[in-house]
Structure 1
Amino acid sequence: MEIRRDQYLKQLVDYQWDGQVKVITGIRRCGKSYLLRTLFKNYLLEQGIKEEQILSFELDLAKDIRFRNPLELSAYVREIVEPSAEQYYLFVDEIQMSDQVPNPYNVNGASITFYDALNDLRSLPNLDVYVTGSNSKMLSKDILTQFRGRSDEVRVHPLSFSEFYSAVGGDKQEAFETYAFYGGMPLILSRPSDMAKMNYLKALFSEVFLKDIIERKRIERQDVLEQILDLLCSSIGSLTNPTNIANTLRSKNQISVSVNTVKHYIDYLEDAFLFSESKRYDVRGKSYFDFPNKYYCEDIGLRNARIGFRQQEMTHMMENILYNELIVRGYSVDVGVVYSREKNKTGTQTKVPREIDFIASMGSKKVYLQSAYAMPSEEKIEAELKPFSLTGDSFPKVVVRKDIGKRWYNEKGILHIGLLDFLLDEAAI
């Protein structure tokens, strides 16, 4: 089964021959290698590039083990590319498997790393360089830092619902229910049963993601890391901060931990692409709040697996899926805060904060979105729509709903659109 990843393929095509190292990043097992070594390679072959012009190395395999030495890799590639008039493409998969070796020309103990090798190779005018990689030795974000402006990032995410549906087809509602339960990690599609899917997702957490973080960051309190992970998974879309989490661990789990430790551990989970933080933004004050903020899981299936496929609250799951969809589409996503003046029980006017689920921004484009599982009453409709009237601007406003089919605009120009309609139509906003 070939899964189309057209938006990522287009980025690789657009970045060809720009003199930069193309670095494909993302959570482990989300399809980075498949994008490079299958989809992009097939594209090049269709454009007339010959097989021998694509130099491909898989450093996690025994056949390419000698090329873990960056000097060996550099020398081998140069020997092929430098004397030739042909254009070549270099693919290095699992680049973090590369060894650090002594510099034979430096007696002071300096080392040669793959950063040195790739920065050297990118200087060849007839070589275009592409790499993937992330594991316990080096998570993908670190690669970009080391290349210091000499790289292009292609950030790959788990399958969006439209990618998932393009592969499975059939009834849209049934497909969405499967997606909302198991998420979009690509190998889910090849697992033959529900039990196999659940076991695969659970194993990803225990055998891949957690091991990566624990080994690489030398985590001393694995119990704390796992408790933080459980809390974040249980409270997706809820406001929190490291202080709240530390207090919860102390009061409910009798675990004593500092706020700084909690903050570092959350940072590690974000570095591993497991979670994203969405900051709260004062729409009219045009400023960000320091805390609390919201955290969303990179894949809803991974979140469900971590909590044992319990807590299937579609309101929160739908919000997480919408957040991820906006990120995949290239938006920066904040939580909006607006204020209304309302009378309290004593009749005094007070300033009441109200929330807009998402402010989606891309350049000069901005859209306000509310995620509403259902709006069965006038009171619910008023509560969901009121924050839109408090923004003081005319940017588009959208309510994404699970309880409607056809899209429509109300008298104030607010778009009401069904969830599946929104997820399957990138031009909806």
Structure 2
Amino acid sequence: MQLLREHYLDRLRQFLDAPVITAVTGIRRAGKSVLLRQFADALRSERQVVYVDKESLEFEPVRTARDLIDHVNSTTHRNEPRVVIVDEVQEIDGWERAIASLNGEHKTQVVLSGSNARLLSAELATLIAGRYVTLRVFPLTLREFGELYRQRPNASLDDAGLFHLYLRVGGLPGVLHTDLSDPVVDQMLGDMVNTIAIRDVIRRHRIRDVALFEAITRFAVDSVGSPVSAKRIADFMKSQRRTTAVDTVLNYLAHLGDAFLLEAVPRFDLRGRKLLQVNHKYFLGDVGLRNGIVGYRESDIGGVLENLVFLELRRRGYTVTVGIAGKHEIDFVAEKRSGRCYVQVAYLLESRATIARELNAFDAVRDAYPRVLLSLDPHQPADFEGVRHQSLTTFLRGAPLGASTAT
């Protein structure tokens, strides 16, 4: 079973001949390694390629910057075009010096990957400011999930069943290589969370009170889709007889963000035209990991759907905030250079009161940018008083935001 993620491969090719380093980032197990191997294989017929995978024992001897330089120069000709691809580069001591050195060599292109946003950006910015670009790899889209699932022997789920499976297990590709039984999926998701927490947060930041860190992580994950403040978390910890400072909570949340496990979404005051500094919402880098932390609960469907929409908007290059105007809240204000779109996310529109509540959120909007209501309800009209109603699953499968509700 293998999936060619053409969107990312095309982006890597676009950067290939530019005088920049390409840094591929994203949550662990999102498919970065497979993507880089596919990219390396596609290039071998046209130029020299060095591929170093620091999660493979084959490259265990490549431990330092000097080791990396020696390995590259011993396997390629320096005066001929070559591409150096290093997966999980942060495992090499002094990697930033080696990458800067290689980047300065004639006819040498460098592509690297890592699972910590701040580590890569801080080190690269220090040595080669303005000479690198980042490409974030997200978990599988619903369409990609379906394409990979249908390569399984005896794949039998229809579109509805596939979507419910996606809600349950998330979009990390490795899960689809299991038998998808509940015990196996739960174990795998739990192990993925532990890997991210231990390797990318606890060990890197030398966190001593692991129990406190886990409790704060669980609280934030369980609050997906709801406003959360560091003080609120600290107060909750105090009620559980666990004293912690607000600054400690903020640091832990920042570490989780650097590891792409959680992403903070600020609130935007639509009337005052400014970002608010407190009560951000947090969304997971993959909805399946939520189930590995707090378990799967049907009652949480609203927050999970918002999380999926958030990830899809970010995947499409939108900058995302939560719109606030008085008592009204718009789930997402999605912006690109081309403009803005206001987005509400609903499970079902089962009553007039529900429809009115969702539409009322747009009352504070005074501009002419599009307004879109995404839901799983197939029985509602395409428009509500100028608000486009779109099938949420159609959007997740790749339809333009605000397109027809046809599934």
Q: Same fold (TM over 0.5)?
A: yes
Cα 1:83–1:125 change in 2 (3 A) is closer
Instruction: Work out whether 1:413 is the aligned partner of 2:382.
Output: no
Match for residue 351 of structure 2 among 377, 400, 403 = 377
Report how far residue 269 of structure 1 moved.
Answer: 0.8
Instruction: Work out whether 1:291 is the aligned partner of 2:286.
Output: no
Alignment of 1:348-367 (within 5 A): 353-367=327-341
Report how far residue 314 of structure 1 moved.
Answer: 1.0
Match for residue 245 of structure 1 among 233, 239, 242 = 233
Report how far residue 297 of structure 1 moved.
Answer: 0.9
Query: d(CA) in 2 for partners of 1:220 and 1:95?
Result: 25
Could you tell me which residue of structure 1 aligns to residue 106 of structure 2? Answer: 125
Report how far residue 290 of structure 1 moved.
Answer: 1.3
Deviation track 1:257-295 (CA, whole Å, cap 9, x = no partner) reads 111111111111111110011111111221111111111
Could you tell me which residue of structure 2 aligns to residue 68 of structure 1? Answer: 63
Could you tell me which residue of structure 1 aligns to residue 13 of structure 2? Answer: 13
Deviates more, 1:69-78 or 1:380-389: 69-78
Instruction: Work out whether 1:91 is the aligned partner of 2:92.
Output: no
Structure 1 residue matching 2:350: 3-state secondary structure: coil
Report how far residue 11 of structure 1 moved.
Answer: 1.4
Instruction: Work out whether 1:274 is the aligned partner of 2:223.
Output: no
Query: d(CA) in 2 for partners of 1:311 and 1:418?
Result: 20
Contact kept, 8 Å, 1:234 with 1:311, in 2: the verdict is no
Report how far residue 417 of structure 1 moved.
Answer: 1.0
Could you tell me which residue of structure 2 aligns to residue 25 of structure 1? Answer: 25
Report how far residue 407 of structure 1 moved.
Answer: 6.7
Could you tell me which residue of structure 2 aligns to residue 141 of structure 1? Answer: 118
TM superposition score normalised by structure 2: 0.91
AA partner of residue 393 (structure 2): L
Instruction: Work out whether 1:56 is the aligned partner of 2:43.
Output: no
Report how far residue 60 of structure 1 moved.
Answer: 3.5
Could you tell me which residue of structure 1 aligns to residue 174 of structure 2? Answer: 187
Report how far residue 80 of structure 1 moved.
Answer: 5.4
Report how far residue 37 of structure 1 moved.
Answer: 1.0
Structure 2 residue matching 1:229: 3-state secondary structure: helix
Report how far residue 308 of structure 1 moved.
Answer: 2.6
Match for residue 97 of structure 2 among 116, 138, 142 = 116
Structure 2 residue matching 1:66: 3-state secondary structure: coil
Cα 1:44–1:311 change in 2 (3 A) is same
Contact kept, 8 Å, 1:406 with 1:417, in 2: the verdict is no
Query: d(CA) in 1 for partners of 2:383 and 2:365?
Result: 18
Deviation track 1:196-255 (CA, whole Å, cap 9, x = no partner) reads 11110011122443343111111122111111111112111011100011111111x211
Structure 2 residue matching 1:30: 3-state secondary structure: coil
AA partner of residue 69 (structure 2): S
Could you tell me which residue of structure 2 aligns to residue 214 of structure 1? Answer: 202
AA partner of residue 369 (structure 1): V
Report how far residue 89 of structure 1 moved.
Answer: 1.1
AA partner of residue 397 (structure 2): L
Could you tell me which residue of structure 1 aligns to residue 369 of structure 2? Answer: 395
Cα 1:216–1:311 change in 2 (3 A) is farther
Contact kept, 8 Å, 1:82 with 1:124, in 2: the verdict is no
Query: d(CA) in 2 for partners of 1:175 and 1:289?
Result: 38
Structure 2 residue matching 1:153: 3-state secondary structure: strand
Contact kept, 8 Å, 1:81 with 1:126, in 2: the verdict is no
Deviation track 1:374-399 (CA, whole Å, cap 9, x = no partner) reads 12222221111122132111100000
Structure 1 residue matching 2:110: 3-state secondary structure: strand
Query: d(CA) in 2 for partners of 1:306 and 1:290?
Result: 27
Could you tell me which residue of structure 1 aligns to residue 154 of structure 2? Answer: none
Query: d(CA) in 1 for partners of 2:398 and 2:51?
Result: 36
Could you tell me which residue of structure 1 aligns to residue 309 of structure 2? Answer: 322
Query: d(CA) in 2 for partners of 1:59 and 1:206?
Result: 19
AA partner of residue 233 (structure 2): I
Deviation track 1:75-126 (CA, whole Å, cap 9, x = no partner) reads 3434555553x31111112212213xxxxxxxxxxxxx22111111111221
Query: d(CA) in 1 for partners of 2:31 and 2:71?
Result: 28
Contact kept, 8 Å, 1:90 with 1:130, in 2: the verdict is yes
Deviation track 1:287-346 (CA, whole Å, cap 9, x = no partner) reads 11111111111111100120133464211111111111111111111100123xxxxxxx
Report how far residue 406 of structure 1 moved.
Answer: 7.8
AA partner of residue 28 (structure 1): R
Structure 1 residue matching 2:331: 3-state secondary structure: strand
Instruction: Work out whether 1:163 is the aligned partner of 2:158.
Output: no
TM superposition score normalised by structure 1: 0.86
Report how far residue 172 of structure 1 moved.
Answer: 1.1
Cα 1:380–1:63 change in 2 (3 A) is closer
AA partner of residue 44 (structure 1): L
AA partner of residue 43 (structure 1): A
Match for residue 292 of structure 2 among 281, 305, 312 = 305
Structure 1 residue matching 2:207: 3-state secondary structure: coil
Unpaired segments ≥5 residues, structure 2: 151-156, 403-407
Contact kept, 8 Å, 1:23 with 1:153, in 2: the verdict is yes
Query: d(CA) in 1 for partners of 2:66 and 2:168?
Result: 46
Report how far residue 71 of structure 1 moved.
Answer: 1.5
Cα 1:180–1:333 change in 2 (3 A) is same
Cα 1:262–1:33 change in 2 (3 A) is same
Cα 1:316–1:62 change in 2 (3 A) is closer
